[in-house]
Each structure stands twice: as C-alpha cells, then as structure tokens.
C-alpha cells in the first residue's frame, strides 16, 4: 500500500470515528505509520487537502460498493446489512466519513464539496436502479434522495442508540416505500 493510500485510509477511519475536527495530524501519523513529512510531500495543502483526498477515496469505494448492491434483488437490505456490520465492528463508533466531511466544512471546505458530489453519485446509482425497475424518473429521483437521507440518518441514530434497530427499521420502511411506487 502506498504512503498516500495509508494516509487517506487512516484519515478516513479517524473521520468515521471522530469527525474532521477530531482528526488531528498526530493521530493520522500514528494510525498510518508514516513520517510527518510524508503528509506534506503527498498533500502540500496539509490536513485540509488530506481530508478532501480521504473523502474522495472512501466516496469512490462506497460508490463502487453501492453499484454492486443495486444489482442485487434487495439492495436496501444489502446496504442495511453492510452498515449494521460496520457499526457493530466499530462498537458503534464508526459512522460515515462522507457525512463527517460535510460537517467539517469550516475546516475542510473542499472535502464538503467532494461529499456533495459523492452524494450525487450515490443518488444517481440508486436512481438508475429504480428507473430500471420501472419507477418513473421524477419519483425515482425523489426516492433516491429519501433513501440516502434515511440510511445516513439511521446510521447516526444507530450510533446514538448503540443499536442497529434504527437502521433495521429504516431499511424495512424504505423497502416498503419502494414497493409502493414500483409498478410490479
């Protein structure tokens, strides 16, 4: 794994757990195992540039994963199961680093802008699946936004409750909502 990948991976993991403001350079170095000068050689813009790169990296990975989930018979269940596992594996400390990037706009505005683009990519992937299932485009677009907002909100509620129950409830009702609008 390259130094750049180690830095972005460590940063994304810390963002999941502590947000942007709680992700310090010292912790990034400790978690990545690289020398301090490596940050500035790879990211001349410092922490802000590194947070943006980490956001984009994890966003790209999650977009690719979402696209594989949308090809499954029940993509909402797959997304819910993935998040449940991530939450339980992190003892409910690991949320979405893309959400963390949005919330860290004051410290890393380019990362928040990257997060907005990532959310659009996720919406487009869901929209593609919904329209392929016969849901009209306007409804599918609105549903895609609702799905992303519901899942991301359920992840936060699950962290707060230290339980996957909010996520399970949200994914159940998202599936019902999709079925309600499906022509089948």
94-137 pLDDT, tens digit each: 999 999 999 999 999 999 999 999 999 999 999 999 999 999 99
Q: What average pLDDT does the segment 133-161 reach?
A: 96
Query: Any idea of the CA torsion for 166, 167, 172, 173, to the nearest 10 degrees?
Result: 60
Task: Assess if residue 8 is contained within a domain.
Answer: no
pLDDT bin (cut points 50, 70, 90) of residue 72 is confident
* pLDDT of the residue at 125: 94
Does residue 161 sit within a domain? yes
pLDDT > 80? residue 184: no
Spatial distance between the Cα atoms of 85 and 38, rounded to a whole number of angstroms = 32
Q: Does residue 14 sit within a domain?
A: no
> What confidence category does residue 71 fall into, taking pLDDT thresholds of 50, 70 and 90?
confident
- How many independent structural domains does the chain possess? 1
Residue 10 resides in a domain: no
Structural domain including 76 reads 56-181
**In a domain? residue 70:** yes
Give the separation between CA 75 and CA 3, rounded to whole angstroms.
Answer: 34
In a domain, 27, yes or no: no
- Domain membership flag for residue 137: yes
Helix (H, G, I), strand (E, B) or coil at 114: helix
Mean pLDDT to the nearest integer, 77-94: 94
| CATH number for the domain that contains residue 169 | 1.10.357.10
- Compute the average pLDDT of residues 136-165: 97
Closest to 50 in 3D by CA, of 38, 60, 62, 61? 38
- In terms of Cα–Cα distance, which of 179, 170, 184, 181 is closest to 84? 170
pLDDT digits (tens, 9 = 90+) for 1-55: 899 999 999 999 999 999 999 999 999 999 999 999 999 999 999 999 999 999 9
Residue 12 domain flag: no
């Amino acid at each position: 794994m390259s130094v750049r990948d180690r830095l972005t991976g460590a940063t994304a993991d810390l963002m999941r757990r502590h947000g942007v403001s709680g992700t310090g350079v010292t912790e990034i170095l400790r978690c990545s195992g690289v020398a301090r000068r490596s940050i500035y050689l790879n990211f001349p813009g410092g922490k802000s540039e590194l947070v943006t790169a980490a956001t984009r990296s994890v966003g790209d990975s999650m977009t690719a994963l979402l696209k594989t989930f949308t090809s499954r018979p029940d993509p909402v269940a797959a997304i819910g199961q993935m998040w449940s596992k991530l939450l339980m594996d992190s003892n409910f400390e690991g949320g979405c680093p893309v959400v963390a990037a949005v919330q860290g706009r004051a410290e890393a505005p380019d990362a928040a802008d990257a997060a907005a683009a990532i959310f659009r990519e996720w919406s487009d992937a869901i929209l593609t699946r919904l329209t392929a299932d016969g849901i009209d485009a306007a409804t599918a677009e609105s549903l895609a936004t609702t799905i992303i907002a519901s899942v991301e909100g359920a992840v936060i509620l699950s962290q707060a409750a230290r339980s996957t129950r909010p996520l399970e409830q949200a994914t159940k009702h998202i599936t019902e909502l999709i079925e309600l609008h499906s022509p089948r």
